[in-house]
Amino acid sequence: MTHQKVLVIDFGGQYNQLIARRVREHKIYCEVKSYKTPIEEIRAMNPKGIIFTGGPNSVYLDDSPRMANEIFELGVPILGICYGAQFMVYGLGGKIEKANETAVAEFGRTDCTFDTKSLLFKGLKKKSVVWMSHNDHIATLPEGFRAVCHSDKCPYGAIENPQKKFYGTQFHPEVNHTEQGFDMLGNFLYKVCGCVGDWTMEEYAQTAIREIREKVGSGKALLALSGGVDSSVACKLLAKAIGSQLTCIFVDHGLMRKNEGDEVEAAFADSGVNFVRVNAGERFLSKLKGVTEPEAKRKIIGEEFIRVFEDEAKKIGTVDYLVQGTIYPDVIESGAGDAAVIKSHHNVGGLPDYVDFKEIIEPLRMLFKDEVRALGIALGLDEKLVWRQPFPGPGLAIRIIGDITPEKIAILQDADAIFREEIAKAHLDRNINQYFAVLTNMRSVGVMGDGRTYDYTLALRGVTTSDFMTADFSRIPYDVLETVSVRIVNEVKHINRIVYDITSKPPATIEWE
């Protein structure tokens, strides 16, 4: 089945992925393309609509990103957002100027009034809040355009040329701060572009399975299974497509969360693939003995993982295909055109020469994380794996401050398990994007059973984020934190103090090391 397609043309905007995600949430397939993409390539993709992203530049400067005006001659509906709207105006003969006394720059939440006769705002409230972020403003409209939205300071909050199906918003409809933004995008996609919404994970799974079977034929494929969401979904998809022709190698480095290795193994026990679990905890711990510097920990674990993988892969023999859990944000962030090479090098780097594969299979490379989870559900993957909390490759090694010992690993596993259990009981597990415990290297005095203790301080961390590039600390209710604290101190030996990290990213990072 060929999906209807919408293109997001990126002019360097910080929300390029978010726009694409919003389009996908409307069950419409889309791809992000650079503004440098040749017009012939865009025409060949036969898009139902085009969305121009925002960007940090001023469109009237010589070195600002622009496309040839042929983009406006394709007969395709276009929605320009922020810089994208200014590029449309500029390219079609209008005028863009720097903010001045009469049309000032706007940033943040802004009250706007909409012309609900416009298809872009049809069925919406006439007044609501949008998210503005612009220094320049539209001074003169091109021929055939009219204003369909305004704020107190911006007479051209949104514009349209309905005959040509060109629309522009000075604000960002893709962000949650714009109250009716999702519906505005829906109006553009369905009422202007005529999309039907044919993008579902069930249909994607059927298509992917068929294409994988055709590609692999009677060959063999190899997957390094981390137990994370991406590799687990990739494994499930390949299992349905080629069954025993796939071998999954799961390296348990002994730094997983409590019972996690067993859960991963159980999830794939009856999958029909050759599942190999390598219990290499002692091997990794011996390499990490006495190491305290976090970057050194990461390098040791990364290299040792490859060595273990090499040892196991030798036992398999010739492999035709290597499977990777590359997802669409990896492709976008790696840069158009070079994405496959960059990502392949990152994931395959260090593999031995004897793994003589014909090609790399990346069945998730066009999916966002939320779509990967939806695909996992559609494939029947265990929900514990589908909704598994993001987990760094080095595992608990970078959540234990200082040196790593078996005793510290056990302490953190038990404490972290209690924290995750109570978050789930409070039904917060789908609302907090990442939450975990950190065993600090700090000890402090406490009192237990009328006796003095001198034990570790445990830090709890919870964040909310849409892209993991920035994050805010989660406002976990005090009663939940209290329950977690009481349980950990009473049930886990060698912890006598609990603290909660209330730092956002930036200035902090999500992980501690």
340 in any annotated domain: yes
512 in any annotated domain: no
Structure confidence at residue 470 (pLDDT): 73
Please state the rounded mean pLDDT for residues 4-14: 89
Domains held by the chain: number: 3
Please state the rounded mean pLDDT for residues 320-347: 57
- Among 386, 418, 451, the domain boundary falls at 386
Q: What is the CATH number of the domain that holds 486?
A: 3.30.300.10
Q: Which residue has the higher pLDDT, 468 or 348?
A: 468
Name which of 74-88, 254-268, 490-504 the model is least confident about.
254-268
Return all residues near 284 (Cβ < 8 A) that are at least 6 apart.
253, 254, 255, 300, 301, 304
- Same domain membership, residue 376 and residue 305: yes
Q: How far apart are the first and last CA of the chain?
A: 45
- Same domain membership, residue 318 and residue 211: yes
- Same domain membership, residue 161 and residue 37: yes
Identified catalytic residue from 106, 149, 160, 174: 174
- Same domain membership, residue 355 and residue 230: yes
Element (H, E) at 458: strand 451-464
- Same domain membership, residue 130 and residue 35: yes
Whether 193 sits among the annotated catalytic residues: the reply is no
Please state the rounded mean pLDDT for residues 288-312: 88
Return all residues near 221 (Cβ < 8 A) that are at least 6 apart.
238, 242, 245, 246, 247, 319, 320, 321, 322, 323, 361
| 506: preceding bond cis by omega (within 30 degrees) | yes
Please state the rounded mean pLDDT for residues 433-453: 86
Identified catalytic residue from 82, 112, 193, 195: 82
28 in any annotated domain: yes
- Same domain membership, residue 377 and residue 415: no
Helices (H), 187-256: 201-216, 229-242
The beta-strand segments (E) located in 41-135 are 49-52, 78-81, 95-98, 106-114, 127-134
- Among 192, 214, 247, the domain boundary falls at 192
| 507: preceding bond cis by omega (within 30 degrees) | yes
- Among 144, 168, 192, the domain boundary falls at 192
Average pLDDT, the chain: 87
- Same domain membership, residue 268 and residue 160: no
Structure confidence at residue 336 (pLDDT): 43
Question: Quick check: 193 pLDDT over 80?
Answer: yes
509 in any annotated domain: no
278 in any annotated domain: yes
Name which of 12-26, 41-55, 146-160, 185-199 the model is least confident about.
12-26
- Same domain membership, residue 382 and residue 237: yes
Structure confidence at residue 469 (pLDDT): 63
511 in any annotated domain: no
Question: SS3 for 325?
Answer: coil
- Same domain membership, residue 261 and residue 219: yes
Name which of 146-150, 221-225, 307-311 the model is least confident about.
307-311
Question: SS3 for 482?
Answer: helix
Please state the rounded mean pLDDT for residues 456-460: 96
Q: What is the CATH number of the domain that holds 307?
A: 3.40.50.620
- Same domain membership, residue 223 and residue 334: yes
Distance in angstroms (rounded) separating the CA atoms of residues 153 and 91: 24
Please state the rounded mean pLDDT for residues 370-378: 90
Identified catalytic residue from 3, 137, 172, 253: 172
350 in any annotated domain: yes
Q: What is the CATH number of the domain that holds 38?
A: 3.40.50.880
Structure confidence at residue 144 (pLDDT): 94
Structure confidence at residue 106 (pLDDT): 62
pTM, two decimal places: 0.67
- Same domain membership, residue 463 and residue 348: no
- Same domain membership, residue 320 and residue 342: yes
Domain that holds residue 299: 201-386
Whether 154 sits among the annotated catalytic residues: the reply is no
Whether 82 sits among the annotated catalytic residues: the reply is yes
